[in-house]
């Protein structure tokens, strides 16, 4: 069986920007950005900006790969990101309309910047 490429998305995010949002809005921001499972992984306060920036960058890259973006009705909470190995994560779309998609995401951090790249494929004939 072959796969067809649905899309590729990339996002670059400054950790400091997310830290500022967490400082300003705290849990109100975090509850809007993260699923309950992701919130459970927050850990200590010092890790919140980096952890949250990684997840949001991955979510933004997935939205771009889907062609929706945040402005077309997509939501950060419709995408759940879990670390699976260093630099990689598993992504689950919390929408049955996307159950046939395979999502591959890689995340990299350099200093105060997080980069995420998402590739989405679909098995041919499964749409």
Q: What confidence tens digit (pLDDT) does each residue in 68-114 have?
A: 766 665 788 889 998 766 667 889 888 766 678 899 999 999 999 99
Closest CA to 93 of 57, 66, 116: 66
CA 118 to chain centre: 9
Burial class of residue 96 (count of CB atoms within 10 Å of its CB; 0-12, 13-18, 19+): exposed
CATH number of the domain that 13 lies in? Answer: 3.90.470.20
CA atoms within 13 A on the CB side of 112: 7
> How many domains, the chain?
1
- pLDDT tens sequence across 38-76: 998 887 655 689 999 999 999 999 999 988 766 665 788
Whole-structure pTM over 0.95, yes or no? no
Closest CA to 48 of 18, 11, 3, 78: 18
Give the N- to C-terminal CA distance of the chain in Å, as an integer.
Answer: 13
- pLDDT tens sequence across 4-31: 999 999 999 999 999 999 999 999 999 9
Q: Which domain holds residue 12?
A: 3-123
């Amino acid at each position: 069986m072959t796969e067809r490429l649905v899309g590729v998305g990339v996002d670059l995010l400054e950790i400091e920007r997310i830290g500022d949002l967490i400082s300003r809005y705290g849990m109100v921001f975090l509850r809007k950005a993260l699923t309950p499972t992701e919130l459970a992984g927050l850990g200590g306060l010092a890790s919140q900006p980096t952890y949250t920036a990684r997840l949001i960058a991955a979510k933004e890259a997935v939205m771009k790969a889907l062609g929706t973006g945040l402005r077309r009705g997509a939501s950060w909470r419709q995408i759940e990101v879990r670390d699976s190995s260093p630099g990689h994560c598993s992504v689950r779309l919390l929408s049955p309309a996307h159950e046939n998609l395979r999502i591959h995401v890689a995340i990299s951090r350099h200093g105060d910047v997080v980069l995420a790249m998402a590739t989405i494929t679909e098995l041919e004939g499964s749409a």
